[in-house]
Amino acid sequence: SYELTQPPSVSVSPGQTARITCSGDALPKQYAYWYQQKPGQAPVLVIYKDSERPSGIPERFSGSSSGTTVTLTISGVQAEDEADYYCQSADSSGTYPNWVFGGGTKLTVL
């Protein structure tokens, strides 16, 4: 089955840049999406179609894609950005698409 691979954890100091990667064989052909989940809350979409930012999401959140890896970049990290981040894509190799989530990355702001 199709998998998306993320690092379990990333740590940065306030004001620095955090980069969270997500790898998957189908990513050159499928868009990736990113979600932020804070403790006790539902996930929130922060990036769609690899690099588009929904309205209301701060400009410090950006996304990029290169080959089989997509990256969520948070510039000028703030304490409020501490959360779990999940990538998501779709596996369209079967009759119907299967939506797939990465295992999640815990971002710690030191």
Partner 1 sequence: EVQLVQSGAEVKKPGESLKISCKGSGYSFTSYWIGWVRQMPGKGLEWMGIIYPGDSDTRYSPSFQGQVTISADKSISTAYLQWSSLKASDTAMYYCARVTAWFDPWGQGTLVTVSS
- Positions touching partner 1 (CB under 8 A) are 1, 31, 33, 35, 37, 42-45, 48-49, 54, 84, 86, 88, 90, 96-104
Shortest Å distance, C-beta 13 to partner 1: 26
Nearest distance from C-beta of residue 21 to partner 1, angstroms: 16
Could you tell me the smallest distance in angstroms from the CB atom of residue 36 to partner 1? 11
Minimum CB–partner distance for residue 106 and partner 1 (Å):
11
Minimum CB distance to partner 1 smaller for 25 or for 52: 52
**Of 15 and 35, which has the nearer Cβ to partner 1?**
35
Q: Which is nearer to partner 1, 31 or 64 (CB)?
A: 31
Nearer to partner 1 by Cβ, of 48 and 64: the residue is: 48
- Mind spelling out the 3-state secondary structure of the chain? CCCCECCCEEEECCCCCEEEEEECCCCCCCCCEEEEECCCCCCEEEEECCCECCCCCCCCEEEEEECCEEEEEECCCCHHHCEEEEEEEEECCCCCCEEEECCCEEEEEC
Contact 26, 91 (CB under 8 A): yes
Alpha carbon 82 to its chain centroid, in Å, reads: 13
